[in-house]
Structure 1
């Protein structure tokens, strides 16, 4: 039985992190804990960030693994970490981290759904100000 790509348990609110690396590790650890990826995927997320930033604008970063990290993906999944105080990604402030693990080419469809939600500043503000994981989940489900 395949899991939900995004479930309430994959969303953490009011997280405080000291830096970009801790933020990425936190985002990746949710994917590991929920069984979407092997632990090695987190290192590949950090490697990806070294190659090119995953900051997307609008206070959003989308950490994900490198191309060769695909073998560490068990099932497609998302994690969302809300950081209301923000964390610096090379000088850009990130308040919403969306971790992605895509099996095969599923990450492309997942990315497009995230892009639709996060392209609207109003939606990003709703995520940053959400008081429950369900609020965030509903926002993403409305796109489908």
Structure 2
């Protein structure tokens, strides 16, 4: 019963959940690849956080590939793996942002974090809605 809370019928632009989820998967994959390359670049320059960024983005790359394959093959488990993985990453980012805001409050950073986290939560809801549609056997195309 709680599985059907926070469900949307279409993506933000009015396109289907399938198309929206595929776009989310592709954009997430491309951005993670770019960020992974940048992580290697700053890691080589001697900044240890670059290697942490590389590992995190490799996880996002794997999750994005699972999402794209899950959509193509209509495999709910692959789609929901992305949902849960990204939900954990967003939760960790929210905790880190709260710590940063408490330690060093700036209004611009706070507003930017709120907007970015709201967008990520919406994207997760869109993909989750697609995954739930797969399990219910409804037409999500």
Point out the structure with the larger helix share.
2
- Do both share a fold (TM > 0.5)? no
What TM-score do you get using the length of structure 2 for normalisation? 0.25
Structure with greater Cα Rg: 2
Point out the structure with the larger strand share.
1
RCO higher in structure (CA 8 A, sep ≥6): 2
